[in-house]
Structure 1
Amino acid sequence: MINWSKCPTVEQIPGKVSGAWVFKNTRLPLYVLFDNLAGGATIYEFIDWFGGVSESEVSAVLAFTAQELRADLVVADAHPVR
Structure 2
Amino acid sequence: MFRDSRFISRYPDVMGGTTVFTNTRVPVQTLLDYLKDGESIDDFLDGFPTVKREQVIYFLEELGRSLVSVAA
Question: Do Structure 1 and Structure 2 share a fold, with TM-score over 0.5?
Answer: yes
Q: Which moved more, 1:61-70 or 1:50-59?
A: 50-59
Residue deviations 1:24-70, cap 9 Å, x none? 11111010000011011100010001111111111111011000000
| C-alpha distance in structure 2 between counterparts of 1:51 and 1:66, whole Å | 24
- Other structure's SS at 1:46 match: helix
Q: Give the RMSD, CA atoms, in angstroms.
A: 1.2
Structure 1: any 5+ residue segments left out of the alignment?
75-82
CA gap of 1:70–1:7, structure 2 versus 1, over 3 A, is farther
List structure 1 segments (4+ residues) > 6 angstroms apart after TM superposition.
none
CA distance in structure 2 between the aligned counterparts of 1:7 and 1:29, rounded to whole angstroms:
16
TM normalised by structure 2 equals 0.90
- Kindly tell me the number of residue pairs found equivalent between the two proteins: 71
